[in-house]
């Protein structure tokens, strides 16, 4: 057992006395090649996106199909839109009154705090 501990201490001393220097995991040529391949891949992806954008089918070249008439649906849509506008207006009105009441409550709380401070100072 003592021999094992002596060998372990001796190897630890030799390891700590050595000089070490960091060296890159990959060579600089490999790092440059990796960056170049990334740049080429990005350029290829950009070129593919530009080509797809340039050759996409525009709505002008597509044939225009007549939409069948849906008078009942149009009326229902108009009624629903009107109901939504009315609801939005009523919500806005309620929000305005709630904001006004909140401001009034804050003002009354400030008055109460002032009066409480005045009554404490008189004692």
Which pLDDT tens digit goes with each residue over 70-97?
778 888 899 999 999 999 999 999 999 9
4-42 residue pLDDT tens: 556 555 555 555 677 777 776 778 888 899 999 999 999
| Cα 31 versus chain centre, distance | 32
Task: Dig out the tokens for 14 from the structure.
Answer: 């030799």
CA angle 105, 106, 110 (to 5 degrees): 115
**pTM score:** 0.37
């Amino acid at each position: 057992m003592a021999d094992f501990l002596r060998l372990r201490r001796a190897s630890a001393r030799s390891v700590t006395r050595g000089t070490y220097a960091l060296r890159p995991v990959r060579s600089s040529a490999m790092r440059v090649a990796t960056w170049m391949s990334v740049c080429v891949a990005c350029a290829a992806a950009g070129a593919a996106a530009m080509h797809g954008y340039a050759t996409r089918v525009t709505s002008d070249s597509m044939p225009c199909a007549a939409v069948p008439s849906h008078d009942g649906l149009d009326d229902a849509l108009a009624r629903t839109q009107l109901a939504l506008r009315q609801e939005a207006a009523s919500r806005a009105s309620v929000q305005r009154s709630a904001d006004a009441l909140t401001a009034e409550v804050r003002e009354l709380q400030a008055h109460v705090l002032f009066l409480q401070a005045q009554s404490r100072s008189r004692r």
